[in-house]
A and B are shown apart, each in its own frame.
Chain A
Amino acid sequence: MVPLWMYLLVAAGLFSIGMYGVLARRNAIAILMSIELMLNAANINLVAFWRYNQPAHVSGQVFAAFVFVVAAAEVAVGLALIINIYRQRRSVVADDVDLLKW
């Protein structure tokens, strides 16, 4: 098999791309998609560490499955919030939702 650090490197790249998306995109749905990328990077890490260190146990896969559950809940509530904001403000650009000034 390829060495473990290659999987970790791919996950690091995926996480960094997602981080850029969260910081730079204007559309709230695009930000949510970037968060999905970051969650997937964490999942790759979990499964890779499970495979290379403890393949006889199931804990790594269980953790990854829980990440799936949380991601599904997060995206459902997040998209509901975004649609609600769109109804009120006619915009999904995150910069336009500036009710709370700093």
Chain B
Amino acid sequence: MELTVESLVFLLFSLITLGGALMVVTTRNLFHAALFLMLSLFGVAGLFALLTAPFLAGIQVVVYIGAIAILIIFAIMLTPQVTAVPPTNSQWIAGVVVAVVLFALLATIVTPLLSELGVEGWGAVFTEKNPPPVPADSIARLGEAFVDPQAYMLPFEVASVLLMAALVGAVMLVRPARGAEDEAPQTGAQE
């Protein structure tokens, strides 16, 4: 791989993404894990920008980092077991084995490593390098596809109904139970 600016930026964002993700699953303090999750999501946003998907990169920053990660931080602050000792359960060795085996399988399938070693018929080789450029009005076409009855209007409306249902459901779930109404606000205050 020739060392262009683009490949260096790709390497940087990949390291941010994977390093942040590793810290998310290994760090002991849950609040720090949430901050590292934000870092990792930022790396993914950078990868989206590199893939010329600026709309998705913006959505990633606004929705994921701005809303979902903040929501997770709220939940962490509401449940004060921030540093559970130990942070992993008894099956963490099995977890490592599963993750490593899964990664090895996926890596041999997506990379051209095995076919270069002479193993045929195992992986699909994704060596596309120079795709045609993205049309300049791709964001406008994305927006039109969302409201076009011939394209994605129905899934778009269903998605909004799903969000509404999730919103109402979440509010109903965290509402204090009837009868425990005088007790629940106190616990909320002392936490």
User: Which A residues are in CB contact (< 8 Å) with B138?
Assistant: 55, 58, 61
- Complex CA gap A37/B26 in Å reads 13
In-complex Cβ contact of A48 among B17, B51, B125, B151 (8 A): B51
Q: Which of A62-102 contact B (CB under 8 A)?
A: 62, 64-66, 68-77, 79-84, 86-87, 91-95
Main secondary structure of the interface of A (DSSP, over half): helix
In-complex Cβ contact of A33 among B17, B33, B125 (8 A): B33
- Complex CA gap A84/B41 in Å reads 27
Are A26 and B21 closer than 8 Å at their CB atoms?
no
B117, CB-defined interface residue at 8 Å:
no
In-complex Cβ contact of A20 among B1, B25, B48, B107 (8 A): B25
Residue of A nearest to B36 (CB): A33
Q: Which of A38-73 contact B (CB under 8 A)?
A: 40, 43-44, 47-48, 50-53, 55-56, 58, 61-62, 64-66, 68-73
Q: Which of B35-85 contact A (CB under 8 A)?
A: 37, 40-41, 44, 47-48, 51-53, 55-56, 59-60, 63-64, 67-68, 71-72, 74-76, 78-79, 81, 84
Are B18 and A14 closer than 8 Å at their CB atoms?
yes
Binding site for A on B (CB under 8 A): 1, 6-7, 10, 14, 17-18, 21-22, 24-25, 30, 33-34, 37, 40-41, 44, 47-48, 51-53, 55-56, 59-60, 63-64, 67-68, 71-72, 74-76, 78-79, 81, 84, 86-89, 91-92, 94-96, 98-100, 102-103, 106-107, 110-112, 125-135, 138, 141-142, 145-146, 151-152, 155, 159, 162-163, 165-167, 169-171, 173-174, 176, 184, 187
* Nearest chain B CB to A17 CB, angstrom units: 4
Are A77 and B53 closer than 8 Å at their CB atoms?
no
Are A34 and B25 closer than 8 Å at their CB atoms?
yes
Residue of A nearest to B101 (CB): A16
A51 in contact with B53 given A18-B25, A79-B71 (CB within 8 Å):
yes
- Complex CA gap A44/B110 in Å reads 14
Can you list 23 A-B pairs, Cβ within 8 angstroms, ordered by A?
Answer: A5-B111, A10-B14, A12-B107, A14-B17, A14-B18, A14-B44, A15-B102, A16-B102, A16-B103, A19-B102, A24-B25, A24-B88, A24-B92, A24-B95, A27-B87, A36-B37, A40-B40, A48-B51, A55-B52, A65-B146, A77-B169, A87-B187, A91-B81
